[in-house]
Amino acid sequence: MPKNVLIGRSTKELEEWAISQGEPAFRGRQLHHWLYTKGAENLEAITVLPKAWRKSLLEDGYQVGRLKEIKRLVSLDSTIKLLLETNDGLNIESVGIPTDHRLTVCVSSQVGCPMACSFCATGKEGLLRSLDAYEIVSQVISIREVMGRRPSNVVFMGMGEPLLNMEQVLIAIRSINRDLGIGQRRITISTVGVSNTLPTLAEQAISILGRAQFTLAVSLHAPNQELREKIIPTARSYTFNSLLEDCKHYFSITGRRVSFEYILLGELNDQPEHANELAQVLKGSQSHVNLIPYNPIADGQFRRPSFNRVADFRRILERNGIVSSIRSSRGLDKNAACGQLRRDHSQMLTQPDVTYEDLTIG
Ligand code: SAH
């Protein structure tokens, strides 16, 4: 956490910091309320603090740590996608997905991503840098503000590979939980798998959060090594079997069952034999499988599977006792899959606001 940023600090830390600044401890509690409950965008807006103190904090380079909104896309089903700018001028995406009973915030953990999965727009640009915890917490506050509603769930399914930024992701989860009041069980980390990280994740989660209660979702995307390698370049050095072994190990440490994501790419991994093979692989694991119909990206080499194909795939899993769900597409047009808002940003600024109809998170 940079020394001069306030978002991410707990009540106690803010109290101690206020005291170190020669102010009474209650100023720390006030600050906590204004940062997290009222969502102050900058120090000037925290009018409850003495003006002279605010001025000297600004002079000392302190800042709230909110990201700047650059672009907002609102879909017909009220899903909102934000393009946010970091202090050093980099762009990331965050999405708010509302339903009657939930508001799910999809956050980015990195600017870009080095994993280069073949179907993913974010991967096309490589990695610029990992995000700091406050930049992750900030995304949740920004979505809450634009949606005018308290988020109920947070998923790390925006840009980036969370396990390559494990410590900051866990520190962000601690703050989202403790300072924004979102239960750990309502938070999901999604990973395509990074070798030698799952047991470490379990241990670090226990050390930073006390307990590892968030959901870990692994982007499996194939029922075997051969096919997985074709879709995910990094699968070559981290094999299918090692990944599944590590998932079991993770469960043995945390007591939390890993769930799986499976992107359905038309004609490539969506055939009945793939569903049958996947069912055999996962038999007895009691793991949930989330099926994600591919959301076409601009230069995509893949096809979105037909509705019937997706339904058949699911039927085969269910018949074999594997519980699954199909991720519904939420309002985005073809330009706004994961990473595409940032990619198309310069072009979009010359266009009128886009209304989109078919969003899949990711
Ligand atoms: N790196 C992490 C989290 C970011 S991607 C991971 O791979 O899990 C979050 C999810 O969105 C992943 O399951 C990913 O496979 C999916 N995704 C990425 N691009 C997509 C696309 N074009 N269509 C559908 N799902 C996509």
Nearest to 74 by CA among 66, 83, 86, 63: 83
Q: Which residues pair with 263 in a beta bridge?
A: 292
- Among candidate residues 59, 77, 99, the one where a domain is terminated: 59
Closest Cα to atom 19 of ligand 1? 120
Question: Using CA atoms, how far apart are residues 275 and 318, in angstroms rounded to an integer?
Answer: 10
Question: Using CA atoms, how far apart are residues 157 and 191, in angstroms rounded to an integer?
Answer: 8
Provide the domain limits for residue 272: 68-360
Please tell me whether residues 24 and 158 are part of one structural domain. Answer: no
Residue at token pair 């809450």: 144
Report DSSP state, residue 359.
B
Q: Are 140 and 154 in contact (CB under 8 A)?
A: yes
Q: What pLDDT was estimated at residue 328?
A: 78
Domain assignment present for residue 355? The answer is yes
φ and ψ of 276, to 5 deg: -65, -45
State percent of the chain over pLDDT 70: 91
Q: How confident is the model at residue 332 (pLDDT cuts 50, 70, 90)?
A: low
Domain assignment present for residue 175? The answer is yes
Domain assignment present for residue 319? The answer is yes
Task: Name the pTM for this structure.
Answer: 0.93
63: exposed, middle or buried (Cβ count in 10 Å: 0-12, 13-18, 19+): middle
Q: Which atom of ligand 1 is nearest to the CA of 158?
A: 4
The CATH number of the domain holding residue 17 is 1.10.150.530
Q: If you average pLDDT over residues 282-287, what whole number do you get?
A: 92
pLDDT at 347 over 70: no
Please tell me whether residues 34 and 84 are part of one structural domain. Answer: no
**Contacts from 33-36 at CB under 8 Å and sequence distance 24+?**
35/6, 35/7, 35/64, 35/179, 36/7, 36/141, 36/179, 36/180
Predicted confidence (pLDDT) per residue in 117-174, tens digit: 999 999 998 999 999 999 999 999 999 999 999 999 999 999 999 999 999 999 999 9
Q: Are 185 and 177 in contact (CB under 8 A)?
A: no
Share the mean pLDDT of the chain. 91
Q: Which atom of ligand 1 is nearest to the CA of 300?
A: 22
Domain assignment present for residue 6? The answer is no
Please tell me whether residues 31 and 170 are part of one structural domain. Answer: no
326: exposed, middle or buried (Cβ count in 10 Å: 0-12, 13-18, 19+): middle
Closest Cα to atom 8 of ligand 1? 191
Please tell me whether residues 54 and 75 are part of one structural domain. Answer: no
Please tell me whether residues 27 and 98 are part of one structural domain. Answer: no
Please tell me whether residues 243 and 151 are part of one structural domain. Answer: yes
Please tell me whether residues 312 and 350 are part of one structural domain. Answer: yes
From 115, 122, 292, mutation site for ligand 1 pocket: most ligand atoms within 8 A of C-beta: 292
Predicted confidence (pLDDT) per residue in 215-259, tens digit: 999 999 999 999 999 999 999 999 999 999 999 999 999 999 999
Please tell me whether residues 211 and 274 are part of one structural domain. Answer: yes
Tokens describing residue 250: 């993770």
